[in-house]
Structure 1
């Protein structure tokens, strides 16, 4: 019997790979699967490998997660080729999906896309997709080949008992390993554990990620192509986080979505212009202007107009984060509240969301978004579709672009807005347009508008360096052009018989050198720690004007409508509350449960910024003090803010918006 058993044993395992053979096969397979996954990317493999040759660490970073996955499943299956077949199919399928998504939507595949499988199914039907048939066939055939090799060459199992026998020179037949489940589970768990640890340490490192040379660090699809899909995909596990609020209940949040009725508002066209780095920094006392040299004459005149609301909005960031301000103003959510770590609001959006576009669109408005930049930047091309914009226009869609230096001019954008308004009028529809300009984008260097361009001098009481003076002169010229855009639009709409409301504001304060160099030299409190300032939020404030032409003022019954808004005396609001003000002003209270809630919240605390609240009476309330208070008003504020955070999370993750 023993002889038969041995014969049977030899017959079953005659093609077994020894341990060293399995390890060698695993290394070779990891390399081959990595190459195949890179070949499946949209760009040529030779281009990728040429970049890897100058940055060899990328080879390891792309192959390592594939190798660890292969090792984990090799332990479970007790077969390195079966493991290779599974990992090859999974990794290459993701790489192919990444290729298709980039080609269709100019956006790569992210780990968070796994939570959107239902949306993916419906989205596929909305696009004319050209599937890479050749690449798909290669992946399928390679997977089948690996399965065949797994049948012919099973691996010798790792056995603790066999290893012990070898060390003690015992008879190995007596310790035949059988299925070896403990060893297989331990090996798989260790492999997955190492991979997980690497994803949340090495692959999570922004410093490492940003250290690699790429042709355009802001164009995410290009970064994926150049650094390799496996590495970039692993890096994205820890980027653009959205934290689940404490006490969140999906069913509770779903109940808040009910209600709302369309068609309640007044048919006035609404134009929002978010002007790049627009601020009233030049109004501060350290600047010396005459009536003739004032860079903001139109803003100042409009602030005195009886049909104007003016003040400051508190934006998410300082000296950057344009798209985050767009997100806050249009959705009523807050970028800074999405996660305890920094995130990009536009990058967390991957589904239809409530926004001002949807509210006005439901009332029959022609809705559009204009931006004279690249459609891929901040993923705007996709995000504005999810926000419900009927019409998106980027630089690639604009004709006869007019530049000042390397940026499209504000004056050109004013002309496009006028043309868009004429189109809406010809259609017999009111217009809702959101325009983000770009001309006054940093950097504010002397060559911004071309060699030899001269700038008007800036006079200050502060003793500033030549570098800071140059930055201020360049920046102030952009401010003058922005103010001229405001003047052009108000003059144009003043002459129109159709009712129009214009909202004009800045996205953030300008960048004036590292460590707030320019602000420090000016003596601005922007440069000192927040807890030492008189105005704790001064670094986040940009001016806004909300103006109605005569026809709109009559249509809205301006004075009564404004009084009903209950705005604070200083007109300071969080950017996230600007939309609710606009909807209330145009008679749309009752159309959106979400924006109605924001209207009630801003009446309690017009400003909510990170861990600081400004209440309706103007008092400043830090979060640490609010946490300790138990009076009725404080409890009401805490409950409202909790609802805001939970509702925002629900909308981003679960809400079904048509």
Structure 2
């Protein structure tokens, strides 16, 4: 007698299979939640107040289990496979959070090669206890499948392979439909209470890994551009760049939170200019000034960082809204890498948390040699709840001093935080007295407060610009300073502040003379005497071929800085961006601006623009090349 014939078997009615599937799905879900960094009792406490989370976490596990149970005609065998898969993902999520402070996303399946390489890079602690429990439970389920059987459904037509395939297909169809509808809902996802909605690992821990993992299938999309050809894109990227290094100048880039010149509007009446340093630089012979067109209005700081540093445009990644820093998961070409190739020390400072926008990981993928966040900064100085711009100016000066002492050139990027919203009266303390803002138009009390608080931050941002200019002007080392804003400020719901000011920002885009006015922030590129002499400033600026109004897309700003410092041809990617900038200095979705300042909107007849096809082809190449960088390019 064979061994399998000696094993006692229990035969159950067919209706016990779906009942067992429900119970087993619950057990597997609980095990997956137990494997997470948060204590299971803490997770269940959250669930007790938001019962829908129980269903949302167990449903995908149950549907997957049901599909495999139908296919294998054994609910326990199906549960064993599901438990192994879900358990492995849950443990991988726990490890990834511990190692990189980032959860497991569905897109990680496309990065198995990179995961294998990373295994040797990090000192990984494997949760042996969790692994053992998952493996043991899987073995128990396999044994149960060998012992416990259920009778087939009483419909003869469904007892063969047709029934298996129909049951499996129906379960998978429901699962896919749920992921594309219920789990894709941002409104539902955002309706659940969490301790910190911006800290993604915490959200995963509190709302449950199965639910959050399924939600991520439809978030942060990247669309494949029309006509994309990987081989063609690889050929563009493999074209030889120029040899030799650029000019030996230190480059300091400061992206200042919500820095804008909306206070230059004629409706404001100033006794004391809130932007004296910016305005002085606009006539400085060693300065180039204008506006950058950033990806978002009143938010999206990281998207502007992404555009400037990589030359890829956030708004072109997908037809849907996405977050650029959340689609980055591999090494990318960036300004950091270009300057690193020239032997620079490269660094990034931000007086916020390293997990916010996943900056800790993203800047490593950008190639920054050094990253410093708030928890690594000493003796932080606050104005209200945010670290001051003046403190960050001191940090930058110290970084430049240290690079000079070490005999290194410095490429540095700072993202400030002081003038971050909200612009409420208590931002700088309950007793803080704000200088009044006077306008020629009547303002509501809400908008008056918003403008007074925001303008106080703008004064401090402008003072930071002036301090850095004064500091660098006295140095013998050549320094180029690039200072710009990340987006316009939020001034109330439905653009209330802009409406009361009579700003075109409040108009529908088709009614604006300037379609980009919601996205324009000022920039300054300034060189101290040593840098101006080394670069032959007037010639270098003239050869940039900037448009007369000085307006360019944020995605072209970094490439322009490379060209200004003699590095415009060092990589085919940034050389292409500078070429495209000369054809269309601003590209925003389907609208672009010509060098003479005229706009080409989607509804405009193509025959009115003689070079339209050439520009459109170049923009499409930009999209395709960007997609190649994000998905395929290998950078050690």
Q: TM-score, normalised by structure 1?
A: 0.94
- Give the Cα separation in 2 of the matches to 1:118 and 1:137: 26
Contact 1:308 1:546 in 2 (8 A): yes
2:134 is the counterpart of 1:131: no
After TM superposition, the structure 1 = structure 2 runs for residues 54-203 of structure 1, keeping only pairs within 5 Å, are: 54-158=49-153, 160-161=155-156, 177=159, 180-203=160-183
Partner of 1:283: 264
- What SS does the aligned partner of 1:16 have? strand
2:458 is the counterpart of 1:479: yes
- Give the Cα separation in 2 of the matches to 1:403 and 1:631: 52
Deviation of the 1:302 alpha carbon:
1.1
2:251 is the counterpart of 1:270: yes
Contact 2:548 2:595 in 1 (8 A): no
Partner of 1:590: 569
With over 3 angstroms needed to count, the CA separation of the structure-2 counterparts of 1:14 and 1:375, relative to structure 1, is closer
Deviation of the 1:262 alpha carbon:
5.3
Q: TM-score, normalised by structure 2?
A: 0.98
- Give the Cα separation in 1 of the matches to 2:256 and 2:82: 48
2:551 is the counterpart of 1:556: no
Contact 2:157 2:163 in 1 (8 A): no
- Give the Cα separation in 2 of the matches to 1:311 and 1:21: 72
Deviation of the 1:12 alpha carbon:
10
Which residue among 186, 199, 206 is the counterpart of 1:226? Answer: 206
Deviation of the 1:530 alpha carbon:
1.2
1:479-518 per-residue CA deviation (whole Å, 9 max, x = no partner) reads: 0000000010000000000000000000000000000111
- What SS does the aligned partner of 2:438 have? coil
2:200 is the counterpart of 1:205: no
2:232 is the counterpart of 1:237: no
Partner of 1:654: 632
Contact 2:70 2:164 in 1 (8 A): yes
Contact 2:9 2:147 in 1 (8 A): no
Contact 1:262 1:363 in 2 (8 A): no
- Give the Cα separation in 2 of the matches to 1:82 and 1:262: 61
Deviation of the 1:657 alpha carbon:
1.3
After TM superposition, the structure 1 = structure 2 runs for residues 600-615 of structure 1, keeping only pairs within 5 Å, are: 600-615=579-594
- Give the Cα separation in 2 of the matches to 1:305 and 1:231: 56
2:295 is the counterpart of 1:300: no
1:575-624 per-residue CA deviation (whole Å, 9 max, x = no partner) reads: 00001110110001221110000000000000001121101121110134
Partner of 1:252: 232
Tell me which moved more, 192-201 or 19-28: 19-28
Contact 1:314 1:572 in 2 (8 A): yes
- What SS does the aligned partner of 2:420 have? coil
Deviation of the 1:261 alpha carbon:
4.2
2:617 is the counterpart of 1:639: yes
Which residue among 616, 625, 648 is the counterpart of 2:604? Answer: 625
2:286 is the counterpart of 1:310: no
- Give the Cα separation in 2 of the matches to 1:425 and 1:18: 80
- Give the Cα separation in 1 of the matches to 2:440 and 2:86: 62
- What SS does the aligned partner of 1:564 have? helix
After TM superposition, the structure 1 = structure 2 runs for residues 572-583 of structure 1, keeping only pairs within 5 Å, are: 572-583=551-562
- What SS does the aligned partner of 2:442 have? coil
- Give the Cα separation in 2 of the matches to 1:160 and 1:363: 74
1:251-283 per-residue CA deviation (whole Å, 9 max, x = no partner) reads: 111101112245330010000000000000101
Partner of 2:409: 430
1:384-438 per-residue CA deviation (whole Å, 9 max, x = no partner) reads: 0000000000001100000000000000000000010011111211100000000
Partner of 1:402: 381
Partner of 1:169: none
- Give the Cα separation in 1 of the matches to 2:263 and 2:527: 26
- Give the Cα separation in 1 of the matches to 2:120 and 2:459: 48
- Give the Cα separation in 1 of the matches to 2:610 and 2:278: 41
- Give the Cα separation in 2 of the matches to 1:262 and 1:146: 63
- What SS does the aligned partner of 2:349 have? strand
- Give the Cα separation in 2 of the matches to 1:203 and 1:126: 34
- Give the Cα separation in 2 of the matches to 1:642 and 1:455: 48
- Give the Cα separation in 2 of the matches to 1:535 and 1:261: 37
- Give the Cα separation in 1 of the matches to 2:153 and 2:625: 51
- Which one has the largest radius of gyration? 1
Deviation of the 1:11 alpha carbon:
9.9
- What SS does the aligned partner of 1:191 have? helix
Partner of 2:335: 356
- Give the Cα separation in 1 of the matches to 2:434 and 2:156: 82
5+ residue gaps in structure 1?
1-9, 164-176
1:25-56 per-residue CA deviation (whole Å, 9 max, x = no partner) reads: 11110000000000000000000001100100
Contact 1:262 1:362 in 2 (8 A): no
Contact 2:309 2:555 in 1 (8 A): yes
- Give the Cα separation in 2 of the matches to 1:183 and 1:445: 63
- What SS does the aligned partner of 1:342 have? coil
- Give the Cα separation in 2 of the matches to 1:251 and 1:470: 55
2:344 is the counterpart of 1:365: yes
Partner of 2:368: 389
- Give the Cα separation in 2 of the matches to 1:464 and 1:484: 27
- Give the Cα separation in 1 of the matches to 2:594 and 2:40: 58
2:513 is the counterpart of 1:534: yes
Tell me which moved more, 376-385 or 587-596: 587-596
Contact 2:560 2:568 in 1 (8 A): no
- What SS does the aligned partner of 1:266 have? coil
- What SS does the aligned partner of 2:15 have? helix
Contact 1:159 1:183 in 2 (8 A): no
1:144-163 per-residue CA deviation (whole Å, 9 max, x = no partner) reads: 11111111113333363278
1:83-119 per-residue CA deviation (whole Å, 9 max, x = no partner) reads: 0100000001101100000111010000000000000
2:37 is the counterpart of 1:37: no
1:127-182 per-residue CA deviation (whole Å, 9 max, x = no partner) reads: 1111111001100111111111111113333363278xxxxxxxxxxxxx5xx101
- What SS does the aligned partner of 1:623 have? coil
